[in-house]
Structure 1
Amino acid sequence: MNDIQVLHDSQSIKFRKPFGAVEVGQKVKMSISVNREIIVAIELIRFDGTKINIGMHKEYLNNGEFKYSVEVDTSDALGILEYYFILIDGYDRVYYGNNDDHLGGIGQIYTYNPVPYQITVYEKSFIPSWYKEGVIYQILIDRFYNGNGNKTIDNPKENSFIYGRWDDSPMYIRDSFGKIVRWDFYGGNLKGIIKKLDYIKELGVNIIKLSPIFKSPSCHKYDTADYETVDEMFGTNDEFRELCKVANSKGIKIILDIVLSYTSSDSKYFNKLGNYDETGAYNSPNSKFYNWYKFITYPYRYESWWGMDERPNIDSMQQEYINYIISENNSIISKWTSMGIGGWNLNVTDELPDEFIELIRKKIREINEEIVLLGDIWEDASNKISYSKRRKYLQGNEVQAATNYPLRESLINFIKGYIKSDKLKQKIMSLYENYPRESFYGNVNIIGTNDTERILTVLDENISLLKLLIAIQFTLPGVPLIYYGDEAGLKGGREPDNRKSYPWGKENKVLVDFYHKIINIRNNEDGLKKGKLSIFETDPDVFAFERSYENERIIILVNVSSEAKLVKEVNLSGNYINLLSINEKYKFIGNSSVITIFPYDLKILRRI
């Protein structure tokens, strides 16, 4: 079948209707066009791996081609439903599947082992508007601000390293094996966040994502020692209640980061160092915490996160652990949620079983439907496979949205010239196609976090390029996140250099002003918070897309090249204003609109 011509585009309603992920029970019409009459079937692969082969109905088209169609019922297809087409002409057989990049859209012919397309089938899920339409500010508490009047540090830990100056560069003190032997502290605390709430509010932010607050030996607190208590260097449980109360009064919600797949070995649960009165799992097999952990040879060998023996892994499905964290009336989830937080972020989500995440989501729903549950997932969360198991993250009963690391990677690659706008479009459209709409619009759109290099360093300190990146981040669907200090121009490479203290009084005013402007634009435009996404085919160095909502239309144009570009592919008929410069107005007549984008420039045009 060398002369056969076949086309299926999973992102065109001509070939697959409706677009993208579907609610379970919804029917999907699938079509494929072929340049001659043959036999065509579709092979469906359910989430559990079972396959169904269905013949397709033939229709002759006026252009001489044949269209083959079938309607697929998703009533029993919750999860990922994969598919490809089987094309048979006499004794010859070929397949038509997804492209080699697994990005959806136009596919290709295979002689064997076709890459399947994906339909995400999910149960309806609700995400509150305060979150979806918000802007997040991520804070590492120790590095943000010391709210004590005399800048003293509360309850410094034994054998810790306290920086002599707030603006000292961070470092780790390690032994000959690379293990951290003295944790470093600047002295940021909850009082400091309370004192800076007006700064955060004035920036235009309505959500604060806090690093873990729980007692822990480390500066970052991702290794919990006691889930019931705020770390004494950060403050008290009552001060956390006060933070939630004051933040809520200013229209700011708090989201807590939590690690539930391992604890610190220096915790009241494990107590390897004997620093707690509790009988920990390491101290005795009769400890009430013993069954939480996964001992290999008691007590010295046990499973731990990435082989770090100071972070022993938890058996999350152990019933006593489930009761403690989730089920009991005063469980950890209940206790802190009742203090007035707006949501939870599950760190290292891949380490938690689906069943455990479902229990957390169920508990949160029982408490308050307005509470959100997010997941820190580094890949496409709709089809993630971890530990050889396909995950159920976005099927409707686990996390409502995920940290959008795939978008970050694609945006950086485009801004730095590693990929062109056509590939960026493919990458974004793949996520748009694979994610349930609520999850896509709830994704945490990041350009930097505590786990990545500082974005200004990634871009070789080029503020012009950073502005382009920020503009795309804040105008695409999703919830944009600012990693504390990025708006002030903090630089830094790998950990711990990416966790410097906030440079109070030494901010980059150009960047701070730009963040104010772009956040204000997003907050005031429903089209940018709720609007449908359409991406245009343009010059390889220009990324152009539209956000449309009801009668609103906003066009975003970004030029990452050193040359001015003429954009002709976007129909701009009508009157427009550039939201970045309200004195810049345009009037386009007919369908022959042309607009010039200067080197390293951007425009956010709203039809008026």
Structure 2
Amino acid sequence: MKKNSIFKHCVLRRLLCLVLIAVLCVTALAGCSGRGYKYEQKLNIIDDNYRNYYEIFVYSFYDSDGDGTGDLNGVTQKLDYIQDMGFNGIWLMPIMPSDTYHKYDVKNYCEIDPKYGTIDDFKNLVGEAHKRGINVVIDMVINHTSSSHKWFIDACSYLRKLDKDKEPEVAECPYVEYYHFSREKVNDTYYRVSGTDWFYEGSFWSEMPDLNLACEPLIEELYNTADFWLDMGVDGFRMDAAMHFEENQPEFNEQVLNGLYEHCREKNPDFYMVSEVWAGFSTVRDYYASMTPSMFNFDAGNTEGKLIKTARGTLKAAALAGSMVRYQNEFSQINPDYIDAPFLTNHDMGRVSNVLMNDENDIKMAGGLLMMMNGSPFVYYGEEIGMASKGSKDENKRIAMLWSSDSTAAGMTKGPADADKDINSAFDAVDKQLKDENSILNYYKRALRLRNENPEIARGEITLIDSLCQGYQAAITKSYNGSTIGIVYNTSDEVITVDISGTEISDMQIRGYLTLNNEEIKLKDGMLTMPAQSICILKQR
């Protein structure tokens, strides 16, 4: 009995030692990551058109059938990843039949490119997305079609048969009015219709003839196209090349946008539209006269936009805060119901990691700044892991999503055939970053969570706290639906202490924060201690 008791006592002591060692290990790990993050709040996601969007180039995203090309079923398989990241909207780059890899030259507006799947695959994708609270926006390319589109083929065939001294008759070929045909080469963007003395406009490329959006029968065709996709469950359109519908005719272009938007709202009152107006602040602002909800904010976004400049340190936080107020005041003056659409980069630009010279801290800072913006932020696939691009070649900006460092792993695509083969990311693939709490991916994940916890971030009216806006330090409040939060920014490379006593946020407590490697932000006696390149959210309890 005595020996048995001693044995049991020894076993108990060993077990206690093992438990103590485990506790010490956990404590040590927590200490390394800033003693653990203790501000996670309940999610407060509102079902409206303020969303966190993830831009997907289907071709390079996820391959479900092993042919090396991404597809719609691949997107469906990664919806859980998208949802877990904190996105509740996806923008699919063109999915309609096309002769090119990028598919911005549409051959048929009411079909799916066979490389991507079928209409049933798309319906399934939309249904599965909606089950997860994810809205689906698709690229709507109406500035031009493919030269292989039936409309253009039939129009050119008609012109080849037309007597030289005769003018085209719409009654004989309605499609001749769908494009900009001329007997003269108006400028360098006009190309000859082979076998004729006629020319057609192709602003972007000879194989993408421009549509004549002043043609009412064409507009009706496009409205029917919109109805087709709305019936499929699509929640919105991203309008490609909106400022080029008619060159230097913004009022006409705004009317086209408004007409399509209002048509779609008759079918779905919650329909969303975001338009590409790749121009400076004043032009983007003026396009809100279309009374459509969103324009991509190319003043804040772009490789030389204010968000990336602030992350890099060439623009001060106080200046960015001032720009945020300017966006709010001037956009809302034209369209009170506007929803800003900020972004960092997209499929036409070099990636963030390249622009910021693979500086992980600056890359995180850029993502954090984006996620504190009003409106609906858009994140280009792969930015959440710091993927690379190379040079100005478009294919190099649209390479295979790095789900794994193993190119033969399940779902990995080959990407565009003409992309350079030596584009290597400085950062790990998704599988490894998911396991690293200090990765770029997990930084994005927390930033998106903060956004989903605090609806004021996207929707709140911004007020500057002037006394706290100086240099690389800035502070604002955002008020929405009777609730106010404070956001304090430190975009410098130094630890700073911000005295918030006597300000509009003096009675607030820390609600959450973003730091580069899980360092802690502290508030004591009105003094907010902020590590380098950090953002803090405060709110009254």
Cα distance, 1:244 vs structure 2: 1.2
**Cα distance in 1 for residues equivalent to 2:511 and 2:291:** 40
Aligned partner of 2:316 among 377, 402, 420: 420
**Cα distance in 2 for residues equivalent to 1:281 and 1:241:** 37
**Cα distance in 2 for residues equivalent to 1:576 and 1:131:** 28
Partner of 1:522: 451
Q: Deviations over 1:411-430 (max 9, x none)?
A: 11222222223432333222
Equivalences for 1:50-449 in 2 at 5 Å? 130-148=47-65, 151-152=66-67, 186-271=68-153, 286-297=172-183, 299-300=193-194, 302-306=199-203, 308-326=205-223, 331-352=224-245, 353-379=253-279, 383-384=282-283, 393-395=287-289, 398-408=291-301, 409-436=305-332, 442-449=339-346
Q: Does 525-534 or 510-519 show the bigger shift?
A: 525-534
Cα pair distance change 1:416/1:432, threshold 3 Å? same
Cα distance, 1:143 vs structure 2: 0.8
Partner of 1:82: none
Partner SS, residue 554 of structure 1: strand
Cα distance, 1:248 vs structure 2: 1.3
Q: Does 352-361 or 551-560 show the bigger shift?
A: 551-560
Cα distance, 1:307 vs structure 2: 5.5
State the one-letter code of the partner of 1:375: S
Cα pair distance change 1:398/1:573, threshold 3 Å? closer
Q: Deviations over 1:117-160 (max 9, x none)?
A: xxxxxxxxxxx963433210110110111111xx02xxxxxxxx
Q: Structure 1: which 5+ residue stretches go unaligned? A: 1-127, 153-185, 272-276, 386-390
Is the 1:544–1:556 contact (alpha carbons within 8 Å) kept by the matching residues of 2?
Answer: yes
Structure 1 vs Structure 2: percent identity of aligned residues? 22
Cα distance, 1:199 vs structure 2: 1.3
Q: Deviations over 1:271-306 (max 9, x none)?
A: 3xxxxx997667656543211111223624534343
**Cα distance in 2 for residues equivalent to 1:527 and 1:514:** 20
State the one-letter code of the partner of 1:335: F
Q: TM-score, normalised by structure 1?
A: 0.65
Partner SS, residue 227 of structure 1: coil
**Cα distance in 1 for residues equivalent to 2:485 and 2:448:** 15
Partner SS, residue 424 of structure 1: helix
**Cα distance in 1 for residues equivalent to 2:86 and 2:457:** 15
Partner of 1:121: none
**Cα distance in 1 for residues equivalent to 2:395 and 2:104:** 14
The structure whose residues are more often strand, as a share, is: 1
Partner SS, residue 536 of structure 2: strand
Q: Does 439-448 or 401-410 show the bigger shift?
A: 439-448
Cα distance, 1:404 vs structure 2: 1.3
Partner SS, residue 359 of structure 1: helix
Is the 2:293–2:338 contact (alpha carbons within 8 Å) kept by the matching residues of 1?
Answer: no
Q: Does 437-446 or 355-364 show the bigger shift?
A: 437-446
State the one-letter code of the partner of 1:431: Y
State the one-letter code of the partner of 1:549: Y
How large is the Cα RMSD of the aligned pairs?
A: 2.8
State the one-letter code of the partner of 1:141: V
State the one-letter code of the partner of 1:136: Y
The total of aligned residue pairs comes to 427
Cα distance, 1:587 vs structure 2: 5.3
Partner of 2:533: 600
Higher RCO (Cα < 8 Å, 6 or more apart):
2
**Cα distance in 2 for residues equivalent to 1:401 and 1:439:** 11
Cα distance, 1:578 vs structure 2: 4.9
The structure whose residues are more often helix, as a share, is: 2
Cα pair distance change 1:133/1:400, threshold 3 Å? closer
Equivalences for 1:581-600 in 2 at 5 Å? 593-600=526-533
Q: Deviations over 1:31-78 (max 9, x none)?
A: xxxxxxxxxxxxxxxxxxxxxxxxxxxxxxxxxxxxxxxxxxxxxxxx
Cα distance, 1:439 vs structure 2: 6.3
Partner SS, residue 228 of structure 1: coil
Partner of 1:504: 403
Q: Structure 2: which 5+ residue stretches go unaligned? A: 1-44, 163-171, 184-191, 246-252, 405-428
Cα pair distance change 1:379/1:513, threshold 3 Å? same
Q: TM-score, normalised by structure 2?
A: 0.73
Q: Deviations over 1:71-90 (max 9, x none)?
A: xxxxxxxxxxxxxxxxxxxx
Is the 1:294–1:315 contact (alpha carbons within 8 Å) kept by the matching residues of 2?
Answer: yes
**Cα distance in 2 for residues equivalent to 1:575 and 1:569:** 9
Is the 1:440–1:478 contact (alpha carbons within 8 Å) kept by the matching residues of 2?
Answer: no
